[in-house]
Chain A
Amino acid sequence: EAEVAQSPRYKITEKSQAVAFWCDPISGHATLYWYRQILGQGPELLVQFQDESVVDDSQLPKDRFSAERLKGVDSTLKIQPAELGDSAMYLCASSLDSGHLNTEAFFGQGTRLTVV
């Protein structure tokens, strides 16, 4: 069964350092999402791509976070510099499209980031 791949699974970094996460969505899925989930809370959308274009990044802290999806396939989320408050699970998800009928989102295992 096709899965969303994320790496690394775990990352410990010192504050002020740069960190990057990678996501490979299910083949053929046009929509890709990056969510941040703090323990005990719901996933918060950081950025949503439709193919290579950003659909929404209103919740992305653009002074330190950046995301790209070159060629509309895999995606990278970067944080520079990392802060203690960035410690969370970063989840990537993909769906066939965002046309409101085929929007079932498939999630990867996530990257758990700890900033020390």
Chain B
Amino acid sequence: GQQVMQIPQYQHVQEGEDFTTYCNSSTTLSNIQWYKQRPGGHPVFLIQLVKSGEVKKQKRLTFQFGEAKKNSSLHITATQTTDVGTYFCAGYTGTASKLTFGTGTRLQVTL
């Protein structure tokens, strides 16, 4: 079945440092979505990428969809304490109709 892995599993940075999480799927994805889950909260949608090689930015966050549509990345520039949480990628494959989540990357930011 489809598997979506993320690395790293956990990262601890100091405020102001950059952060990147990588998402890799075992199968080609028709789209990729990113979610953020704050401690004790539920996943909240951040963005969706559809096209091969697509890059989107949201303030300090940059999202990229790989050319082969099997991988994606989320980069945060100059992290803030408000960025703390777990970041998940999620995607649909072309053949499966189910939304599969990645394993997640937990980000801790300290002053």
B33 touches A110 (CB 8 A): no
Q: A residues bordering B, Cβ < 8 Å?
A: 33, 35, 40-45, 48, 50, 55-56, 58, 91, 93, 95, 98, 100-101, 103-110
B98 touches A103 (CB 8 A): no
B104 touches A42 (CB 8 A): yes
Q: Out of B30, B48, B96, B101, which one reaches A43, CB within 8 Å?
A: B101
B98 touches A45 (CB 8 A): yes
Pair count A-B, CB < 8 A: 65
Provide the bound-state CA to CA distance between A107 and B43, in Å.
Answer: 6
- B100 within 8 Å of A by Cβ? yes
Closest to B89 in A: A42
A42 touches B96 (CB 8 A): no
B97 touches A55 (CB 8 A): yes
A58 touches B1 (CB 8 A): yes
Nearest CB on A from B41, distance (A): 8
- B92 within 8 Å of A by Cβ? yes
- B108 within 8 Å of A by Cβ? no
Nearest CB on B from A102, distance (A): 9
Chain B, interface residues (CB within 8 Å), range: 20 to 34
A108 touches B97 (CB 8 A): no
Specify the main secondary structure of chain B where it touches its partner.
strand
Provide the bound-state CA to CA distance between A80 and B42, in Å.
Answer: 25
Nearest CB on A from B5, distance (A): 10
B104 touches A48 (CB 8 A): no
Interface residues of B in 48-82 (CB under 8 A from A): 48, 50
Provide the bound-state CA to CA distance between A48 and B30, in Å.
Answer: 18
B97 touches A105 (CB 8 A): no
Nearest CB on B from A84, distance (A): 23
- B31 within 8 Å of A by Cβ? yes
B45 touches A45 (CB 8 A): no
Q: Which residues of A contact B97 (CB under 8 A)?
A: 48, 50, 55-56, 98
A45 touches B100 (CB 8 A): yes
Nearest CB on B from A29, distance (A): 13
